[in-house]
Amino acid sequence: MIEVSALSKRYGDFTAVRDLSFTVQPGEVLGLVGPNGAGKTSTLRSLAGIIPPSGGTVRIGGIDLAAEPVAAKRLLAFFPDEPRLFDYLTVRQHLNFVARIYGVADHTALAQSLLEELEIAEKADQLPGELSRGMKQKLAIACGLLHSPRVMFFDEPLTGLDPLGIRRMKDSILHRARDGAAIVLSSHLLHLLQEVCSHVLILKKGEKIAHGSLAEISAQFAHGETGVSLEEIFIRATGGSEN
Amino acid sequence: MLGALLYLRLTSLKNLLLSRLRRLRQPKYLLGAAVGAAYFYFIFSRPFGGSGRPSTSSGSAAAASFTLSPVELVPLLSVFGAFALVLIALFTWLVPSEKPGLTFSEAEVAFLFPAPISRRRLIHFRLLGAQLHIFLSAIFFTLLSRGWSFLGGHVLTHIVGWWLVLTVVNLHFTGAALTLNRIFDAGISVWRRRLVILGGLTVLVVAAAIPIWQNAPAFPTGNFGPGAFFSAIARTIDTGLLHWLLFPGKLLLAPFLAADLRTFFFALGPAALLLGAHYFWVSRLEVSFEEASVAHAEKRAARVERFQAGDYRLGSAPAKARREPFPLRVPGRPELAFLWKNLLGTRAVFHWRVWAGCAVAIMIGVPWIIRAGGTAPFAAIIAVVAAVFAIYTLLLGPQLARQDLRSDLPNSDILKTYPLTGWQILLGELLTPIAILTGLLWLSLLAVMLALAPRAETVSWLTPGFRLTAGLCAAAVIPALCTLQLLIPNAAALLFPAWFQSTRTRGGGIELMGQRLIFVMGQLFVILISLLPVVVGCALVIFASQWLIGPAAAVALATLLALAILAAEIAGGLWWLGERFEKLDLATELRP
């Protein structure tokens, strides 16, 4: 579903991502982790077609993102860490707008069920300025889910959410994965990886340090020890520093 | 404690100046500073018009009556200035600002409010903080008013004069706001307060109007000019109760209007007393301002954040959702979704029903005014005003109508994930300002065409057929012109995001003003270059074909050519900028 081959991203002389390759199959949730400046956000933004990669290829559902960006983007949804909303559109108008952009037929019923599922149906006629941070996040998610994407990218999905919101976000990600979506998320929160991700990709200074299922990664860095925490594994994998 | 607050203020000021100086190392700021400095030099070095200077030529009786001698002019300024101050004061009480009496930044609220600082010290801190701004404003106004050489005096007395006026006005604003807060805190409703103030105002107006009515000085008769007219107005105002109401204002203005140092020092005493009284009033007010200040600081921070994110719309975020401009049906052209979305972000007045109403009003009103006026000058005035409005709208409109990619750049990450090409997003984003500017220009054109009707009686070639053809041709070209005009600032935002972003910084000083000037000049230059082939092509077509097919058909033919050239330029621009948008990484572009 997501095929990344030799992806690189350079900013002038600085290389943010170097020769990155991996695949994410339908139903898999890949957690992108690494210290600050590891290249997580650059990777995620390149995968979502927000910034052009400097090299390599990204295929979404078999479609080359560089060659056919419009067709590839029909299949994906990107969820930024901060909900980016239009100040002057109500909740319902946001969904109406997105429906037109993605050409979602019968969007009214779909939007209503999404609003109800995310528990913001009561706020349908309110502007973002009247919503709490959590409500805004829910609206951003509803907008992303309206066109039933088969590929989803989440950038720090738990930022700013309260405990209940965190629980719901985790459930939502798992629910979409079970329905066959391929998901990539970036996060600093290791407990999120443990609970939600089927696979983990550890980045450091733009390079892949490790990639595999949680069990594989644990085995790789536990060095035969038992009961090694995920935090310890992360520190061992990354060398315990940003550099 | 006040020492610590002063330290905060002075250190912040020093660091601000240093950072401004440091950023001049970047070419964009250095060039901006050079252009800004040149602009100020031009503005302040050119001679001012001597509107108040006595005429040195013998002149006619009418011309002589137009001007006044300095001896006559200074009292006039005193009366009108004092009258303006009275109006400002009344307005402050009647229509209080939403701002609290004392405004603090979010950082000041966070650090100072929980600190062991008395309320009175906070008031002093705020009043002192305003002094820098007031002092700079006094210098600015002195520079602006330096051409009023008839006043006499000295540059320093003028600075002190302006400083006194601005400080007292500032203190009055603060005192009024705090007093009103106190009244609200006492549980007096807004309506009761308005009733009391309106009642008081009515009593004042009636008490002032009666003596004016009874003892109004006679207006000059015969051939009198504006000088005599304004003198009569001043005498009328300066009567009865109003004479006493104007008295404090006159005292306050006296140092600025002083012709020599001796008069200045004599005038300084009463003005300083007025200032002292205001200071005493404000500093002794026992009123809770913290809650309103916190709310205002949050609002201001949100506004600054929106402003820096490129949202230039004035006022706070909307409190209520707007009615949809038109039903957005799915499926349909995705570009129209952007038009729909951005129209929702404009004011309710930008609705097709309002435009249609304006068109009907123009179609009824312009002929009626021309008929009622009975003479051609009315028509000429309407035509000229409408034409000037249209030119300004075309030239400056793109800087004001920003409901396009410039406002949506912060959302570029989301926009780029849409299954649309770059040019589609750009075109969609441009549609709203195109619609707004086109609507305004069409209304102006309608007024011009209607106002030209009387001229057709004397100008043989201005036949109804030609006017209709020319009007329709102009109407057809207008959307293309607006698109081209709007493409340029959007291109600037996409091609030079770091430059464009820096011009969004609020305030910012001379270098940012210079940068904005560079953008405006750049826009003018590019539009002239773009229109050159259109103008040359159209001129050639009209010149070559009008002998064969007549002027109306020649204009129509030239319009087709103009539309073809403009369409090619716009298509090329959209495609190129769309490509640029697809490759844009704002985060990288804005790296320092």
3-class DSSP state of A56: strand
A219 compared with B117, residue with greater pLDDT: A219
How far is A170 from chain B, CA to nearest CA, in Å?
Answer: 22
Q: In whole angstroms, what is the distance from residue B563 CA to residue B549 CA?
A: 20
Question: Does the pLDDT at position B558 exceed 70?
Answer: yes
Which residue of A86, A88, A131, A155 to mutate against B (max B Cβ within 10 Å)?
A: A88
Task: Give residue A24's pLDDT.
Answer: 95
User: In this structure, is residue A228 part of a structural domain?
Assistant: yes
Q: In whole angstroms, what is the distance from residue B391 CA to residue A39 CA?
A: 50
Question: Does the pLDDT at position B409 exceed 60?
Answer: yes
Which helix (DSSP H) or strand (DSSP E) does residue A15 occupy?
strand A14-24
Token pair 């109804």 is at which residue? B464
Quick one: which of A70, A111, A73, A106 has its CA closest to A94? A111
pLDDT mean over B355-382: 81
Question: For A45, which residue in chain B has the nearest alpha carbon?
Answer: B413
Q: In whole angstroms, what is the distance from residue A24 CA to residue A44 CA?
A: 13
Let me know if B456 is exposed, middle or buried by CB neighbors in 10 A (0-12, 13-18, 19+).
middle
In this complex, which of A50, A71, A86 lies closest to B413 when CB atoms are compared? A50
Are the CB atoms for B524 and B489 separated by under 8 Å? no
Query: Under the phi-then-psi rule, with left for phi > 0, alpha for psi from -120 to 50, and beta for the rest, what region is B225?
Result: beta
| Pairwise CB contact (< 8 Å): B345 & A48 | no
In this complex, which of B317, B412, B420 lies closest to A101 when CB atoms are compared? B420
Question: Which residues of chain B neighbour A104 with C-beta distances below 8 Å?
Answer: 330
Let me know if B270 is exposed, middle or buried by CB neighbors in 10 A (0-12, 13-18, 19+).
middle
* Residue B27 in tokens: 């070419």
pTM beyond cutoff 0.90: no
DSSP code at position B46: S
Put simply, whether B317 touches A (Cβ < 8 Å) is yes
Task: Give residue B60's pLDDT.
Answer: 43
How far is A60 from chain B, CA to nearest CA, in Å?
Answer: 13
Let me know if B484 is exposed, middle or buried by CB neighbors in 10 A (0-12, 13-18, 19+).
buried
Are the CB atoms for A126 and A90 separated by under 8 Å? yes
In this complex, which of A80, A87, A105 lies closest to B317 when CB atoms are compared? A87
DSSP code at position B584: -
Bridge partners, residue A24, by sequence: A2
User: In this structure, is residue A157 part of a structural domain?
Assistant: no
Query: Under the phi-then-psi rule, with left for phi > 0, alpha for psi from -120 to 50, and beta for the rest, what region is B188?
Result: beta
Put simply, whether A23 touches B (Cβ < 8 Å) is no
How far is A98 from chain B, CA to nearest CA, in Å?
Answer: 8
| % of chain A with per-residue pLDDT over 70 | 98
Question: Which residues of chain A neighbour B317 with C-beta distances below 8 Å?
Answer: 87, 127, 129
Say if strands A199-204 and A29-33 run parallel, antiparallel, or are unpaired.
parallel
Task: Give residue B314's pLDDT.
Answer: 43
Task: Give residue B68's pLDDT.
Answer: 62
Put simply, whether A88 touches B (Cβ < 8 Å) is yes
Put simply, whether A109 touches B (Cβ < 8 Å) is no
3-class DSSP state of B461: coil
**Lowest-confidence pick of B186-200, B324-338, B347-361, B476-490:** B186-200
Backbone angles phi, psi at A106, to 5 degrees: 40, 40
How far is B539 from chain A, CA to nearest CA, in Å?
Answer: 43
B294 compared with A208, residue with greater pLDDT: A208
| Pairwise CB contact (< 8 Å): B345 & A84 | no
Query: Under the phi-then-psi rule, with left for phi > 0, alpha for psi from -120 to 50, and beta for the rest, what region is A180?
Result: left
**Lowest-confidence pick of A132-136, A204-208, B209-213, B472-476:** B209-213
Are the CB atoms for A233 and A219 separated by under 8 Å? no
Question: Does the pLDDT at position B223 exceed 60?
Answer: no
Say if strands A55-60 and A2-11 run parallel, antiparallel, or are unpaired.
antiparallel
Q: Residue B398, CB half-sphere, CA atoms under 13 Å: how many?
A: 26
| A14-24: strand order across its sheet | A14-24, A2-11, A55-60, A63-64
Q: CA B464: distance to chain centroid?
A: 39
Question: Which residues of chain B neighbour A152 with C-beta distances below 8 Å?
Answer: none
Q: In whole angstroms, what is the distance from residue B417 CA to residue A46 CA?
A: 11
Q: In whole angstroms, what is the distance from residue A132 CA to residue A123 CA?
A: 11
User: In this structure, is residue A221 part of a structural domain?
Assistant: yes
Put simply, whether A100 touches B (Cβ < 8 Å) is yes
Bridge partners, residue A207, by sequence: A204
In this complex, which of A49, A71, A127 lies closest to B321 when CB atoms are compared? A127
In this complex, which of A48, A104, A126 lies closest to B417 when CB atoms are compared? A48
Question: For B590, which residue in chain A has the nearest alpha carbon?
Answer: A11
pLDDT mean over B62-83: 71
B520 compared with B301, residue with greater pLDDT: B520
Q: In whole angstroms, what is the distance from residue B479 CA to residue B442 CA?
A: 9
Question: For B334, which residue in chain A has the nearest alpha carbon?
Answer: A101
Question: Which residues of chain A neighbour B314 with C-beta distances below 8 Å?
Answer: none
Looking at chain B from residue 328 to 387, which residues have their Cβ under 8 Å from any Cβ of chain A? 328-332, 334, 336-337, 340-341, 344-345
Mean pLDDT, chain B, rounded, equals 79
Task: Give residue B58's pLDDT.
Answer: 41
Are the CB atoms for B235 and B74 separated by under 8 Å? no
Task: Give residue B62's pLDDT.
Answer: 41
Question: For B586, which residue in chain A has the nearest alpha carbon?
Answer: A51
Q: In whole angstroms, what is the distance from residue A85 CA to residue A93 CA?
A: 11
Looking at chain B from residue 387 to 416, which residues have their Cβ under 8 Å from any Cβ of chain A? 410-414, 416
Say if strands A151-155 and A29-33 run parallel, antiparallel, or are unpaired.
unpaired
Quick one: which of A233, A235, A208 has its CA closest to A221? A233
pLDDT mean over B544-555: 88
How far is A125 from chain B, CA to nearest CA, in Å?
Answer: 7
Q: CA A68: distance to chain centroid?
A: 21
Are the CB atoms for A97 and B340 separated by under 8 Å? yes
Task: Give residue B347's pLDDT.
Answer: 76
Question: For B343, which residue in chain A has the nearest alpha carbon?
Answer: A88
Put simply, whether B217 touches A (Cβ < 8 Å) is no
In this complex, which of B322, B334, B410 lies closest to A101 when CB atoms are compared? B334
Put simply, whether A137 touches B (Cβ < 8 Å) is no
Task: Give residue B293's pLDDT.
Answer: 65
Are the CB atoms for B537 and B562 separated by under 8 Å? yes
How far is A232 from chain B, CA to nearest CA, in Å?
Answer: 32
Token pair 């983990």 is at which residue? A200
Q: CA B254: distance to chain centroid?
A: 30
Specify the long-range contacts of residues B516-523, CB closer than 8 Å, at least 24 apart: B517/B32, B517/B35, B517/B36, B517/B39, B518/B31, B518/B32, B518/B35, B519/B489, B519/B492, B520/B399, B522/B488, B522/B492, B523/B398, B523/B399, B523/B485, B523/B488, B523/B489, B523/B492
User: In this structure, is residue A63 part of a structural domain?
Assistant: yes
Looking at chain B from residue 261 to 300, which residues have their Cβ under 8 Å from any Cβ of chain A? none
| Pairwise CB contact (< 8 Å): A100 & B324 | no
What DSSP string describes B101-155? SS---HHHHHHHSSSS--HHHHHHHHHHHHHHHHHHHHHHHHHHGGG-GGG-S-H
Q: Which residue range(s) make up the domain with A223? A: 1-75+187-243
| % of chain B with per-residue pLDDT over 70 | 77
Cβ–Cβ contacts within 10 Å for residue B150, how many?
Answer: 18
The CATH code of the domain that includes A24 is 3.40.50.300
Are the CB atoms for A149 and A76 separated by under 8 Å? yes
Are the CB atoms for A93 and B324 separated by under 8 Å? yes
User: In this structure, is residue A64 part of a structural domain?
Assistant: yes
Q: In whole angstroms, what is the distance from residue A175 CA to residue A29 CA?
A: 11
Please, what's the b/e burial string for A28-58 (b: 16 or more CB within 10 A of its CB; e: otherwise)? bbbbbbbbebbbbbbbbbbbbbbbbbbebeb
pLDDT mean over B27-52: 71
Question: Which residues of chain A neighbour B582 with C-beta distances below 8 Å?
Answer: 52, 69
CA angle, B430 then B433 then B438, to 5°: 115
Backbone angles phi, psi at B500, to 5 degrees: -60, -45
Backbone angles phi, psi at B456, to 5 degrees: -60, -25
Put simply, whether B309 touches A (Cβ < 8 Å) is no
Put simply, whether A178 touches B (Cβ < 8 Å) is no
Question: For B421, which residue in chain A has the nearest alpha carbon?
Answer: A70
Considering its fold, how many domains does chain A have in total?
A: 1
Question: Does the pLDDT at position B316 exceed 60?
Answer: no
End-to-end CA distance of chain A: 33
Task: Give residue B439's pLDDT.
Answer: 94
User: In this structure, is residue A207 part of a structural domain?
Assistant: yes
Q: In whole angstroms, what is the distance from residue B4 CA to residue B299 CA?
A: 27
**Lowest-confidence pick of A60-74, B26-40, B112-126, B292-306:** B292-306
Task: Give residue B306's pLDDT.
Answer: 59
| Pairwise CB contact (< 8 Å): A84 & B414 | yes
Which residue of B323, B341, B583 to mutate against A (max A Cβ within 10 Å)?
A: B341
Token pair 């002929």 is at which residue? B367
| Pairwise CB contact (< 8 Å): B318 & A74 | no
Helix B226-237 crosses helix B70-94 at what angle (to 10 degrees)? 50
User: In this structure, is residue A120 part of a structural domain?
Assistant: no
| Pairwise CB contact (< 8 Å): A50 & B417 | yes
Q: Which tens digits make up the pLDDT trace of B143-168?
A: 877 766 666 777 888 899 999 999 99
Put simply, whether B116 touches A (Cβ < 8 Å) is no
User: In this structure, is residue A45 part of a structural domain?
Assistant: yes
How far is B358 from chain A, CA to nearest CA, in Å?
Answer: 25
Q: Which residues of chain A have pLDDT under 50?
A: none
Question: For B316, which residue in chain A has the nearest alpha carbon?
Answer: A129
Quick one: which of A96, A223, A41, A110 has its CA closest to B326? A96
Which residue of A63, A87, A151 to mutate against B (max B Cβ within 10 Å)?
A: A87
Which residue of B305, B347, B404, B417 to mutate against A (max A Cβ within 10 Å)?
A: B417
| Pairwise CB contact (< 8 Å): A51 & B585 | yes
Which residue of A46, A47, A84, A101 to mutate against B (max B Cβ within 10 Å)?
A: A101
Question: Does the pLDDT at position B478 exceed 90?
Answer: yes
